[in-house]
Amino acid sequence: MVVDRSEQRHMPWRLFVKILNDLRSIDFRSELSLHNYNEPLASDRIVDEYILAHETLPAASLTLYTNGDYMSPGLFGRLSSAGVARMRITRYPRRAEADPREQVASVRNWARTALGADFPVHPVRQHNGMMAVVQRSSVRVELLLPDIAAHFLDRGGTVRSLSDGDYVRTHPCNATVAAAAIDYQGRLKMCCNVVSDWGGHKNYFVGSLRRNSFSELWNSPMLSELRERHGVADWKLSAICRSCTHRMPSRVSAGSLQDRMIESSRDGKRAPHSG
Domain contains 5: no
Burial 23-42 (b: 16+ CB within 10 A, else e): beebebbbebbbbbbbbbbe
pLDDT tens string 225-238: 999 999 999 999 99
| 70 plus 98 within the same structural domain | yes
* Domain annotation covers residue 275: no
State the pTM of this model. Answer: 0.84
Q: Per residue in 86-131, pLDDT tens?
A: 999 999 887 767 777 778 888 888 999 999 877 766 788 887 888 9
C-alpha span between 46 and 50 (Å, rounded) = 6
Q: Judge if 122 and 236 occupy the same domain.
A: no
Which residues have C-beta within 8 Å of that of residue 235, sequence separation ≥ 6?
169, 229, 241, 242
Give helix then strand counts, H and E, for the chain. Answer: 9, 9
The phi and psi torsions of 162 (rounded to 5 degrees) equal -105, 5
CA 97 to mean position of chain CA atoms: 24
Do 119 and 173 fall within a single domain?
A: no
Last residue of a domain, one of 104, 121, 146: 146
Q: Residues 139, 213: one domain?
A: no
- Do 74 and 102 reside in the same domain of the chain? yes
What SS3 state is found at 24? helix
**Domain of 67: which CATH number?**
3.20.20.70
Domain count, the chain: 2
> Are 140 and 245 in a shared domain?
no
Instruction: Decide if pLDDT at 44 tops 50.
Output: yes
Q: For residue 2, with 0-12 CB atoms within 10 Å meaning exposed, 13-18 middle and 19 or more buried, which class applies? A: exposed
Residue 253's pLDDT band (cuts 50, 70, 90) = very low
In this structure, the answer to whether residues 122 and 195 fall within a common structural domain is no
Indicate whether 63 and 136 sit together in one domain: yes
Residues 49-63: tens digit of each pLDDT: 999 999 999 999 999
- The answer on 181 and 133 residing in a single domain is no
From 73-82, 145-154, 196-205, the region with the lowest mean pLDDT: 145-154
Pairwise CA distance, residues 204 & 237, whole Å: 9
pLDDT value of position 150: 66
Q: Reply yes or no on whether the pLDDT at 255 is more than 70.
A: no
d(CA 199, CA 120): 43
pLDDT at 219: 95
The pLDDT-based confidence of 188 (bands split at 50, 70, 90) is: very high
Which one is predicted more confidently, 122 or 187?
187
**Same-domain pairing of 91 and 176:** no
188 located within any domain: yes
Side-chain half-sphere exposure of 23, counting CA atoms within 13 A? 24
Angle formed by the axes of helices 46-56 and 13-25, nearest 10°: 30
Cβ contacts of 10 within 8 Å, gap of 6 or more = 43, 45, 184
Q: What are φ and ψ of residue 217, in 5° steps?
A: -70, -40
Q: What is the residue range of 182's domain?
A: 160-251
Contact (CB, 8 A) for 34 and 50: yes
Burial of 83 (0-12, 13-18, 19+ CB in 10 A): buried
> pLDDT confidence of 71, banded at 50, 70, 90?
very high
Same domain as 121, residue 204: no
**Closest listed residue to residue 34, CA positions, set 7, 79, 65, 13:** 65
Same domain assignment for residues 136 and 80: yes
**Phi and psi torsions of 61, nearest 5°:** -95, 105
SS3 state of residue 195: coil
Q: Is the pLDDT of residue 36 over 90?
A: no
Handedness of CA 6, 11, 14, 16 (dihedral sign): negative
Percent of the chain surpassing pLDDT 70? 80
Q: What is the mean pLDDT of residues 182-211?
A: 90
pLDDT in tens, 258-271: 555 544 433 333 33
